[in-house]
Amino acid sequence: MLNATTLAFLRQLARGIAEQFGPNCEVVVHDLSDNSVDHTVVAIENGHVTHRKLGDGPSHIVLEALHGDRSALRDQIGYLTKTKDGRILKSSTIYIRDENGDAVGIFSINFDITGLLMVESALKPIVSTAAPEKEPERISQNVNELLDELISQSVRLVGKPVALMTKDDKVKAIQFLNDTGAFLITKSGDKVSKYFGISKYTLYSYIDAKA
């Protein structure tokens, strides 16, 4: 886990930022140090913004961080996300690193700008992002919802329903799920196998197959 001194400071910082910017500003601290994906949220302020609470699981970005090279991760500032109920957030993800430069935690800020977007022409300098415009990524409330969203993304990537997928299509979908870290989620293999109508043995062979 994050050491007690670091965690205490991050909680204090999260509280200060949330109080500074008010109830539309959610601040979350994720602990990545034990590689668990079920309960990464160790501190949260204004959790009503994304309907998350202490002890909840990761977002898509957190899952990718756990799956990839932690020394190569780069902070992401001012990108757009959205909640399950359609509200648009301006988000920033800052990685907390150990003495080796590996990410062991995430400090995340999610500011609800839905109301501001209604007067975007006047407030554009505040709500604009540096990255090219794209569909905001949804923030999941728990790991089961996140897995459902990743499965849906894999189907959209292939471009056809499971019933019409060939073996190559399923391989493509399964490898997408593997690349995004979906199989770090507890019992994800069972759910994905059932969804795509394949055995666990076939699932593992698809993960290892060359696309």
pLDDT in tens, 43-74: 999 999 999 999 887 777 778 777 778 888 88
Q: Are residues 133 and 160 in the same domain?
A: no
Please indicate whether residue 19 or residue 32 has the higher confidence score (pLDDT).
Answer: 19
Q: What is the share, in percent, of the chain residues with pLDDT greater than 70?
A: 88
Q: Are residues 116 and 26 in the same domain?
A: yes
Q: Are residues 97 and 168 in the same domain?
A: no
Identify which of 100, 98, 81, 99 has the alpha carbon closest to the alpha carbon of residue 90: 81
Q: With a threshold of 0.85, does the pTM exceed it? A: no
Q: Are residues 132 and 150 in the same domain?
A: no
Q: Which of 140, 160, 176 is the last residue of a domain?
A: 140
Q: Which of 120, 140, 160 is the last residue of a domain?
A: 140
CATH assignment at residue 110: 3.30.450.20
Q: Which of 140, 163, 179 is the last residue of a domain?
A: 140
Confidence class of residue 164 from pLDDT cuts 50, 70 and 90?
A: confident
Q: Are residues 105 and 125 in the same domain?
A: yes
Question: Domain total for the chain?
Answer: 2
* Averaged pLDDT, 164-178: 91
Pairing of strands 76-82, 137-138: parallel
What pLDDT does residue 122 have? 59
Q: Are residues 69 and 152 in the same domain?
A: no
Contact in structure between 107 and 94 (CB atoms under 8 Å): yes
Q: Are residues 160 and 121 in the same domain?
A: no
Confidence class of residue 211 from pLDDT cuts 50, 70 and 90?
A: very low
Q: Which domain holds residue 164?
A: 146-208
Number of H helices, E strands in the chain: 8, 6
Q: Are residues 187 and 122 in the same domain?
A: no
Cα–Cα distance measured from residue 71 to residue 81, given in angstroms and rounded to the nearest whole number: 24
